[in-house]
Structure 1
Amino acid sequence: MTTTNGLDAEAYDRVRSFAWCSWHKGFTDTARLVSITEQGSARAGGQFACAPCRAKYNLVPVADQPL
């Protein structure tokens, strides 16, 4: 079976991404975007948090926040 990005199902399960957790200051593979900073016409930025930090600091991922 091929997924929409061209990988077979087994390869898709092995694909991992990582990001910097802004709370514990380290790399993690469970990071989710929890805040977006916009500064007028300047480039926007965002803060990511790992699963343990989201639980510890009661952070809600942007994708799960109400509109």
Structure 2
Amino acid sequence: MSTPREPVSGGRPLNPGDGDQSAHSAAAVTTWCHWHKGETTTGLLITVIEQASGPGAAVYACEGCRQIYRLEPA
């Protein structure tokens, strides 16, 4: 007696909703909020600090800090 196998397509297991992003649990992308100094999943780019030499810096703020400090996304 053999163990039942999952159906495959092109070497990949078939999942319900395959190809539908909402059906898959993807890890949330986090950014650093420069105002409350912590990680956030609602971070948006506020400004870019350009420097003459060396890399510049991107400054992000979370939704709460954008509302409190009235910050507008770039």
Same fold (TM over 0.5): yes
The answer for unaligned runs of 5 or more in structure 2 is 1-17
19, 26, 32: which is aligned to 2:31? 19
Aligned-pair CA distance for 1:56: 0.5
Equivalent residue, structure 1, for 2:41: 29
Equivalent residue, structure 1, for 2:63: 51
Residue 55 of structure 2: SS of its match in structure 1?
Answer: coil
Q: Which has the higher helix share?
A: 1
Question: Is the radius of gyration larger for structure 1 or structure 2?
Answer: 2
For the residues of structure 1 that align with 2:46 and 2:27, how far apart are their CA atoms? 22
How does the TM-score come out when normalised to structure 2?
0.64
Share of identical aligned residues, percent? 36
Aligned-pair CA distance for 1:42: 2.4
For the residues of structure 1 that align with 2:63 and 2:53, how far apart are their CA atoms? 31
Relative contact order, higher structure (CA 8 A, sep 6+): 1
39, 43, 52: which is aligned to 1:40? 52
How does the TM-score come out when normalised to structure 1?
0.70
The answer for unaligned runs of 5 or more in structure 1 is 3-7, 63-67
